[in-house]
Amino acid sequence: MTRPPESAASTELHARIDVISRAGATALMAADDPVVRATLESLMEALEAGSVRAAERLPDGSWHAVGWVKRGILLAFRLGTLVDQSPHGAAGGPLSPFSFFDKDTMVARSFTLADGVRVVPGGTVIRRGAHLAAGVVCMPPSYVNVGAYVATGTMIDSHALVGSCAQIGERVHLSAGAQIGGVLEPVNAAPVIIEEEVVVGGNCGVFEGTVVRSRAVLGAGVILTRATPVYDLVRQAVYRSTATTPLEIPAGAVVVPGTRPITSAWGTSQGLAVHTPIVVKYRDDKTDAATALEAWLR
């Protein structure tokens, strides 16, 4: 597996973060060091620009965490100082009854019209260090955490979460209430990956480094974790994570919530079953994914 080469700017930033990381307790004592602060600021700017990412796709299609980027984000948490981030008026008084306190390295990100990101009024917050490409739409309220990458044309619907370092591809729809988990520690743990043109249904949860390949459809209420087996009725296969590989949903798979019976004597006598996502079909160019899903559910 060959990793893509870093740019010269990324290589320099990588080296600076490694130096601060190795400093350990000394770095904590030097939280106000202008060089340290400038390095953290450069990392946040690079993440927001999309020139560095917390995970990368290798030529063989596998996804891996970029450890130095995640170390830098963790440094920003460690070295930041708790500050009052509540909105205040010109006279210094509060503008609302709501109070907000967070690390000064983790303020909410601001946008301009030139960014081309549509953030509909109503309580959405995008944290510093998150990349939202032009054409992304955020419906209120939604939240995008530090290190996340959201590609162009994606819609983040109301009450949806994009967790720290999660990677969201182009033209994805995260429906209302969808939860895309994040991960910062350990630094070698890959975050959740949602590839291009995926539909994530309402109240879905995708966690613990799961990879959802391009054009897959997750029906409302599907929950995916490392411990979740997924049964493919079409290919007669079972998808599971291993100690070294995440759970992967195949490209174009249409997944709905299902159950499988508990086989112990007592469980059988009680009629118990456990949650199990099921692949019921695969998308094709002639079939609208939402219509196909609704037809199956009917």
Alpha-carbon span 54 to 144, nearest angstrom: 14
Confidence (pLDDT) at 284:
78
Max distance between CA atoms of the chain, in angstroms, equals: 71
Q: What is the pTM of this model?
A: 0.91
Structural domains in the chain plus CATH codes: 8-83 (1.10.166.10), 108-297 (2.160.10.10)
Task: In whole angstroms, give the CA distance from residue 206 to residue 255.
Answer: 12
- State the pLDDT at residue 298: 44
Instruction: Give pLDDT < 70 ranges for the chain.
Output: 1-4, 31, 89-95, 286-298
Residue type (1 letter), 251: A
User: Do the Cβ atoms of 275 and 255 come closer than 8 Å?
Assistant: no
Cα 183 from Cα 235, distance rounded (Å): 31
The per-residue pLDDT for 290 is 57
Per-residue pLDDT tens digits for 24-81 = 777 777 767 888 999 999 999 999 999 999 999 999 999 999 999 999 999 999 998 8
Quick one: which of 146, 190, 153 has its CA closest to 171?
153
